[in-house]
Amino acid sequence: YRSWLQFDHIQDVTVSENYIPYLKHILLGVESPVMLSAKEELVNGISSMFSINLSESRKVEPSTIFLGTLRSHEEFQEYIDLSLELELNEDGYVIKTDENNCIFIIGKTDKGVLYGVFHFLRLIQTHRSLPTIDFIENPKNQIRMLNEWDNMDGSVERGYAGNSLFFEENRFVGDWNRIKDYARMLSSVGINAIAFNNVNVHEQETKLITPEFLPDVAKVAEIFGAYGIQTFLSINYASPIQLGGLDTADPLDEKVRQWWKDKAKEIYHYIPDFGGVLVKADSEHRPGPFTYNRTHADGSNMLAEALEPFGGIVLWRCFVYNCLQDWRDRSTDRARAAYDHFKPLDGQFHDNVVLQIKNGPMDFQVREGVSPLFGAMPNTNQVLEFQVAQEYTGQQRHLCYLIPQWKEVLDFDTYANGPGTPVKSVVDGSQFPYKYCGITAVSNSGNDENWTGHTLAQANLFGYGRLTWDPDLSSEEITEEWVEATFGTDPEVVKEIKEMLLGSWRTYENYTSPLGVGWMVNPSHHYGPNVDGYEYDVWGTYHFADWKGIGVDRTIATGTGFTGQYFQENTDLYENLDTCPDELLLFFHHVPYTHQLKSGKTVIQHIYDTHFEGVEQVEKLKERWVALESKIDSDRFKSVLERLEHQVEHSKEWRDIINTYFYRKSGIPDEQNRRIY
Ligand code: GCW
């Protein structure tokens, strides 16, 4: 299998000449499993790119790469500037060269060194020039996590890249090497935490926290641990009943509380550096505290107390809404649910509880508003949840590069502390004194040879990691890094693939559901167009199209009042038809098809135009890829081409189904008289 960690041999002599003088020896200032990983990565990467075997030395002689931490052995202290203590955060590092062609990669902790090594290797891969570098890097987010939705039968919920890397036939696969390679990939982009079983914890997975499976969980945790990644498990809220034989899971019941305390002790006995638990409670039929008339603060605090003695944390998901809605009832609005449930509880959570909030209030649509919960709970730890898995964005058969979408979310100004309070500054902890915060995401990987189904979907995983490390990196920088590390530095290849990726989210949006309204997919598997697929269903996911108009009225004045959950500036922005941005118009308003957008077009004409345009853009994507044939190895060339061919056909289906639907509903013809059925 191939990823961005290929470290192909460097052909370009100017590049090798630049680096080779530095590459003779390696020296570790301190030993630990993470330091040994750092060493292994460096030695293997250098050998693969330059055919040079770094030899171990015992002192810093010329051309030595020194890997050290602030806790390095005494004899190396002269190489470590102790003022770094103040400049580096837990995972930060410094890389610098000196006049003896030595390279110093110094972390505050061993994890920082590992990140520094990956950074150094990336500099080489992307042919950045070396002499006299000296810089400090600190990750901006403390929690940089992935959630795998893997089930023990080997399936992956919303998985589009084969089966689970972890499980098959209700046990662990046992391919520890592949897991190690996965850990390497994640660590190389800075990810430091993982929950590897599905948040929907079914019967078998409930048992992961029992001695039947804890030894295997420990084994996985050890592999990840050596790459600086902490292991978490998704747990079943009803475990005390299902595993413990109790007759309740009431969080205020003493027996239940004691059961979880004992359980925590047992888990930490097997896995001393266990991160904690991830919980989907009272959500989509999962059990939770509501059954006992308790709040989510009661429920999460009980778990937090059990984990607290061991330093563990509780990631508690806010994806709580009524999934048995009556479509005739227009007063209930799923978008309101998370805020309505959680905002009133601000300040009631223990300091090792972290609320996990999806980027939007609905569910990972191609476009939706940003969740108004960000910044709304100054006294409660928050992490932002993205979906790298392309559930609603083409399921890794369509090319849809999501970094630009995530950037918009991260840069969205919440106004929580006045103007200039973007989401990224809330979740990185710089606005409120959060003890734990950061970013998490649903992973898009599986056991396919290329990890992500669509080879180009690897860029979403890579970019996710890079962005959580530093949300201020631009989409362009991240994309370029990925293309160079993955396909090499040929300028044409870099330019073409970069542009293909950067425009692909807009393109996908163009031929799917318009103007922020979302959904319009086939129920349950969520692939392909079906305008009314969810329209009369129980999930709260409606577009309300009739012969006159379309959209969800979420205003305070005449709608569900959702706009009122934002801080005033955003409430005003969205409440008012004149200021509401076009791309979210139908997320916030119900308007006639003849409503004129800021672009000057009517809604109906916009729908037609974007759908024709979207297909043309996909055709272009394919042409651009075809033109690269001679420059890409044939396996990857063919597999991407196959997907692009499918995308061309499937985008036409989207175009025609959507256009026809709205033509027939509205009776308004296309101004350009194109073919609409
Ligand atoms: O969007 C929905 C998905 C479910 C998922 C749920 C969630 C894991 O369709 O598959 O369940 O979100 O985030 O909990």
Residue bearing the bigger pLDDT, 130 or 133? 133
Which of 85, 212, 262, 284 is labelled catalytic? 284
Ligand 1, from 147, 150, 158, 359: best to mutate by most atoms within 8 Å of Cβ?
158
Helix (H) or strand (E) holding 216: helix 214-225
Give the DSSP letter of residue 252: T
Look at residue 410 and tell me whether its pLDDT is greater than 80: yes
d(CA 117, CA 39): 8
Atom of ligand 1 nearest to the CA of 363: 1
Amino acid at 564: G
Which of 91, 368, 391, 575 is labelled catalytic? 391
For 457, the token pair is 């979907």
Q: Name which of 129-138, 581-590, 628-637 the model is least confident about.
A: 129-138
Residue 56 banded pLDDT, cuts 50, 70, 90: very high
Atom of ligand 1 nearest to the CA of 198: 8
Among the residues of 448-529, which ranges form H helices? 458-469, 475-487, 491-511
Residue 125 in contact with residue 485, Cβ under 8 Å?
yes
Write down the residue that tokens 């430091």 correspond to: 192
d(CA 364, CA 371): 11
Which of 91, 137, 205, 363 is labelled catalytic? 363
Amino acid at 614: G
What number of residues does the chain have?
677
Ligand 1, from 278, 319, 442: best to mutate by most atoms within 8 Å of Cβ?
319
d(CA 402, CA 413): 19
Atom of ligand 1 nearest to the CA of 157: 10
d(CA 82, CA 443): 38
What's the pLDDT score for residue 218?
A: 98
Residue 134 banded pLDDT, cuts 50, 70, 90: confident
Average pLDDT over residues 60-76: 94
What's the pLDDT score for residue 84?
A: 87
Atom of ligand 1 nearest to the CA of 280: 14
Query: What is the C-alpha end-to-end distance of the chain, expressed in Å?
Result: 44
Structure ipTM: 0.99
Residue 175 banded pLDDT, cuts 50, 70, 90: very high
For 549, the token pair is 């108009």
Any atom of ligand 1 within 6 Å of the Cβ of 321: no
Distance 364 CA to ligand 1 centre (A): 9
Write down the residue that tokens 């001393």 correspond to: 272
**What's the pLDDT tens digit per position in 484-510?**
999 999 999 999 999 999 999 999 999
Q: Positive or negative CA dihedral for 226, 230, 234, 237? A: positive
d(CA 463, CA 477): 10
Which residue puts its alpha carbon closest to atom 3 of ligand 1? 158
Give the DSSP letter of residue 203: H
Residue 498 in contact with residue 462, Cβ under 8 Å?
no
Distance 319 CA to ligand 1 centre (A): 9
Between CA 657 and CA 661, with CA 660 as vertex, the angle to 5 degrees is 80
Sheet of 25-28: strands edge to edge?
Answer: 55-56, 25-28, 64-69, 103-107, 93-97, 134-137
Distance 392 CA to ligand 1 centre (A): 11
Any atom of ligand 1 within 6 Å of the Cβ of 4: no
d(CA 139, CA 142): 7
Of the candidates 223, 130, 110, the one whose C-alpha atom is nearest the C-alpha of residue 177 is 223
Q: Which residues pair with 627 in a beta bridge?
A: none
Write down the residue that tokens 């990823």 correspond to: 3
Of the candidates 193, 170, 168, the one whose C-alpha atom is nearest the C-alpha of residue 178 is 168
Any atom of ligand 1 within 6 Å of the Cβ of 158: yes
Task: Determine whether 363 is an active site residue.
Answer: yes
Residue 131 banded pLDDT, cuts 50, 70, 90: low
Residue 133 banded pLDDT, cuts 50, 70, 90: confident
For 401, the token pair is 């590069």
Q: Name which of 106-110, 125-129, 486-490 the model is least confident about.
A: 125-129
Ligand 1, from 197, 200, 279, 383: best to mutate by most atoms within 8 Å of Cβ?
200
Look at residue 538 and tell me whether its pLDDT is greater than 80: yes
**What's the pLDDT tens digit per position in 369-395?**
999 999 999 999 999 999 999 999 999
Distance 94 CA to ligand 1 centre (A): 40
Any atom of ligand 1 within 6 Å of the Cβ of 358: no
Half-sphere exposure of 497 (CA within 13 A, CB side): 30
Percent over 70 (pLDDT), the chain: 100
Atom of ligand 1 nearest to the CA of 149: 8
Residue 313 banded pLDDT, cuts 50, 70, 90: very high
Write down the residue that tokens 């006159």 correspond to: 548
Average pLDDT over residues 180-202: 98
Residue 127 banded pLDDT, cuts 50, 70, 90: confident
Any atom of ligand 1 within 6 Å of the Cβ of 338: no
Nearest 10 degrees: Cα torsion 19, 21, 26, 27: -120
Please, is 566 exposed, middle or buried when counting C-beta atoms within 10 Å of its C-beta (0-12, 13-18, 19+)?
buried
Q: What residues contact 338, with CB distance under 8 A and at least 6 apart? A: 318, 319, 320, 321, 357, 358, 361, 371, 373
Distance 145 CA to ligand 1 centre (A): 17
Of the candidates 74, 145, 84, the one whose C-alpha atom is nearest the C-alpha of residue 116 is 84
For 277, the token pair is 């638990």
Which residue puts its alpha carbon closest to atom 11 of ligand 1? 200
d(CA 274, CA 267): 8
Distance 437 CA to ligand 1 centre (A): 22
Distance 576 CA to ligand 1 centre (A): 32
Average pLDDT over residues 165-193: 98
Task: Determine whether 619 is an active site residue.
Answer: no
Distance 389 CA to ligand 1 centre (A): 11
Residue 83 banded pLDDT, cuts 50, 70, 90: confident
Helix (H) or strand (E) holding 104: strand 103-107
Arithmetic mean of pLDDT over the chain: 97
Percent over 90 (pLDDT), the chain: 95
Atom of ligand 1 nearest to the CA of 364: 1
Q: Could you give phi then psi for residue 294, rounded to 5 degrees?
A: -110, 160
Which residue puts its alpha carbon closest to atom 12 of ligand 1? 363
Q: Could you give phi then psi for residue 438, rounded to 5 degrees?
A: 145, -150
Any atom of ligand 1 within 6 Å of the Cβ of 155: no
